[in-house]
Amino acid sequence: MLNQVMFFLFGAMIVIFSLLTVTSRKILRAAVFLLFVLISTAGLYFALNYNFLAAVQLTVYAGGIVVLIIFSILLTSHVSERAVMAPFKQSLLSALATVAGATLTLMTILQFTFVPNAAADPHFNITDVGNALVSYNRDGYALPFEVVSVLLLAAMIGAIVVAKKEKMLKK
């Protein structure tokens, strides 16, 4: 009963704050609504009993990316500035297209009955996740781990080079 209440609370928060994120005229406020969406998603992961994923969601998404976005908003626009929205005709067409897509997807999902696996609650912990992440045996994920680390290094260098000022390049 309680988990149902929590699930519907988080679900409603996700949908409402997502809508506010994409419709709010104030950019900084939209970023804060995005933060609420990400925190509610972490709540859903807690409801699924995946504590590690919820922690990752909170630290990387809610802690890292939102801070980055808020910083860049403060660097590029005034707080009181209002976002320019698309013309009415374009918004209407986009809304129609997305509502049609959502209806189609929801109808497809709700027609299908998923049979949940009746196994007991999983009893792995963070150690198992960490071991699988660096294991190169079957069910190991060492290769994607290495690929992601190279990607992060490349993104870091690329971000520094792109955001560097021209004056510093000339020196």
Partner 1 sequence: MIQNIPLSYYLVISTLMFFIGIYGFLTRRNLITMLMSVELILNSVNINFVAFNRYLYPQQLQGHFFMLIVIAVAAAEAAVAIAIIINIYRNFKSIDVENVDEMKY
Q: Which of residues 93-112 bind partner 1 (CB under 8 A)?
A: 94-95, 97-99, 101-102, 105-106, 109-110, 112
146 forms part of the interface with partner 1 (CB under 8 A): no
132 binds partner 1 (CB under 8 A): yes
Scan residues 21-40 and list those touching partner 1 (CB under 8 A).
Answer: 21-23, 27, 30-31, 34, 37-38
Whole-angstrom Cα distance, residue 152 to residue 146?
Answer: 10
For 38, 45, 54, 168, the CA distances from 13, given in Å and listed in that order, are 10, 14, 16, 45
CA–CA distance, 127 with 133 (Å, rounded to integer): 10
**74 near 93, Cβ under 8 Å?**
no
Asked if residue 134 binds partner 1 (CB under 8 A), the reply is: no
129 scored as a contact of partner 1 (CB under 8 A): yes
* Subset of 48-67 contacting partner 1 (CB under 8 A): 48-50, 52-53, 56-57, 60-61, 64-65
Tokens read off for 107:
């109808």
Residue 148's contacts (CB-CB under 8 Å, 6 or more residues apart) are: none
**Under the criterion CB under 8 A, does residue 143 sit at the interface with partner 1?**
no
Q: How far is C-alpha 84 from the chain's CA centre?
A: 24
Cβ contact 106:71 at 8 Å: no
Decide whether 149 or 171 has the Cβ nearer to partner 1: 149
- Note whether 90 binds partner 1 by CB under 8 A: yes
> Is 125 a residue that touches partner 1 (CB under 8 A)?
no
- Shortest spacing between CB 170 and partner 1, in angstroms: 15
Residue in 51, 78, 79, 83 binding partner 1, rule: CB under 8 A: 83
